[in-house]
Amino acid sequence: DTAVSQTPKYLVTQMGNDKSIKCEQNLGHDTMYWYKQDSKKFLKIMFSYNNKELIINETVPNRFSPKSPDKAHLNLHINSLELGDSAVYFCASSRGPEQFFGPGTRLTVL
């Protein structure tokens, strides 16, 4: 009965690889998000997406791309991984202003 779920929970990979993180929500929300929380614990929005509009934080490299097969899913694809991409990535969803977060994916790039 998990509301917002992410897989995998942990991801360890080499520099230069391409990886994906999956997110699913069963709350019936129409907007989903990806956040990055770095080692200093700052949580920063990367993308906001509903079926009409994708809003990208301009600081996000174009190696990162969200893909939404349907309203309940928003996956994050990352190409050519770099050391600085190591962080915890959180998916979230909302209908109104309050957002609900998934458990996070801890990405480590070696």
Partner 1 sequence: RKEVEQDPGPFNVPEGATVAFNCTYSNSASQSFFWYRQDCRKEPKLLMSVYSSGNEDGRFTAQLNRASQYISLLIRDSKLSDSATYLCVAHNNAGNMLTFGGGTRLMVKP
Positions touching partner 1 (CB under 8 A) are 31, 33, 40-45, 48, 53, 55, 90, 94, 97-104
Residue the block writes with tokens 């993180």: 21
Of the two residues 5 and 13, which places its CB atom closer to partner 1 in the complex? 5
CB of 13 to partner 1, least distance (A): 20
Which lies closer to partner 1 via its Cβ, residue 75 or residue 105?
Answer: 105
What is the smallest separation between the CB atom of 85 and partner 1, expressed in angstroms? Answer: 19
Q: Which is nearer to partner 1, 64 or 90 (CB)?
A: 90
Q: What is the CA radius of gyration of the chain?
A: 13
Q: What is the DSSP string of 32-92?
A: EEEEEE-TT--EEEEEEEESS-EEE-TTS-TTEEEEEEETTEEEEEE-S--GGG-EEEEEE
